[in-house]
Chains A and B, each alone.
Chain A
Amino acid sequence: VQLVESGGGLIQPGGSLRLSCVASGFTVSDNYMTWVRQAPGKGLEWVSTIYIASNTYYADSVRGRFTISKDNSKNTLHLQMNSLRVEDTAVYYCAGSLSVRRGIDYWGPGTLVTVSS
């Protein structure tokens, strides 16, 4: 299994960014997919999880600004991030699990998002 994130970078406050995560050896459409982030010097923070389009969950800190989605045809997970804030600066990890209750089995290496003017 391999998960590889892309789309990170430097963005000004208020801007938008779209993260992508391509999976191999793991079927995105059949499984739970999650974004977890780690701000500099801080711990892990769960951001969002999706199973099917009608089953999406968000942390309070990002609800209404971030949107998680799957592109099953490309076996890819996305995170659309709007109205970005300085406090959204973090390494964003894409992660997958066969069952959300059994923990997160597979992780990507992470992509850095820096929100700064």
Chain B
Amino acid sequence: DIQMTQSPSSLSASVGDRVTITCRASQSVSRYLNWYQHKAGKAPKLLIYEASRLQSGVPSRFSGSGSGTDFTLTITSLQPEDFATYYCQQSNSPPFTFGPGTKVDIK
């Protein structure tokens, strides 16, 4: 099974900051890496699919990059509504594992 790791596990940032979250797979997942935003008490939201494709309706300040085993989610100019937990998920082969999450909170 493919294991997913994320770093950092948490970070504190201010509105307007640029934030970068890293996700690593234990073996290649090609480009089949997705990013989700999850806020407490709400359903997760798909932000990025296939490593770099922006889901419809997601603001352009979110972007993704990478392939193989190393991936990055970048939020340029963090907004108040972006404080949440972010998860990567590989969809290359089952089990379609999630990373452990990165919590972004207010500095």
- Chain A contact residues, CB within 8 Å of chain B: 34, 36, 43-46, 49, 57-60, 93, 100-105, 107-110
- B46 beta carbon closer than 8 Å to chain A: yes
A36 to chain B, nearest CB (A): 7
Interface size on B, residues (CB 8 A): 28
Question: Among the listed B55, B96, B98, which residue makes an inter-chain contact with A57, where contact means beta carbons less than 8 Å apart?
Answer: B96
B30 to chain A minimum Cβ distance, whole angstroms, is 9
In contact, A46 and B96 (Cβ under 8 angstroms): yes
Instruction: Report whether B98 and A60 are in contact in the complex, using a CB–CB cutoff of 8 Å.
Output: no
Instruction: Give the interface of B toward A (CB within 8 A).
Output: 1, 32, 34, 36, 38, 42-46, 48-50, 53, 55, 85, 87, 89, 91-92, 94-101
Q: Using Cβ atoms and an 8 Å threshold, which residues of chain B touch A34? A: 96
- Quick one: given A60-B1, A103-B49, are A46 and B43 in contact (CB under 8 Å)? no
Whether A102 lies near B95 (C-beta < 8 A) is: no
Contact A103 B101 (CB under 8 A): no
Question: In the complex, are the beta carbons of A46 and B44 less than 8 A apart?
Answer: no
15 A-B residue pairings within 8 Å (CB atoms): A46-B95, A46-B98, A101-B32, A101-B50, A101-B92, A102-B34, A102-B53, A102-B91, A103-B89, A103-B91, A104-B34, A104-B36, A104-B46, A105-B46, A108-B43
- Roughly how many angstroms separate A110 CA and B89 CA in the complex, as a whole number? 19
A110 touches B43 (CB 8 A): yes
Query: Assuming A44-B101, A104-B34, is B95 touching A60 (CB within 8 A)?
Result: yes
A57 touches B95 (CB 8 A): yes
CA distance A102 to B96 in the complex (A): 12
B residues in contact with A108, CB < 8 Å: 43
Q: How far is the CA of A110 from the CA of B43 in the complex (A)?
A: 7
A34 to B: closest C-beta gap in Å: 8
Please tell me if the beta carbons of B98 and A43 are within 8 angstroms of each other in the complex: yes
CA separation between A49 and B94, bound complex, in Å? 9
Q: Which B residues lie within 8 Å of A43 (CB)?
A: 85, 87, 98-101
Q: How far is the CB of B31 from chain A (nearest CB, A)?
A: 9
- Residue of B1, B32, B42, B95 with highest tally of chain A CB at under 10 A: B95
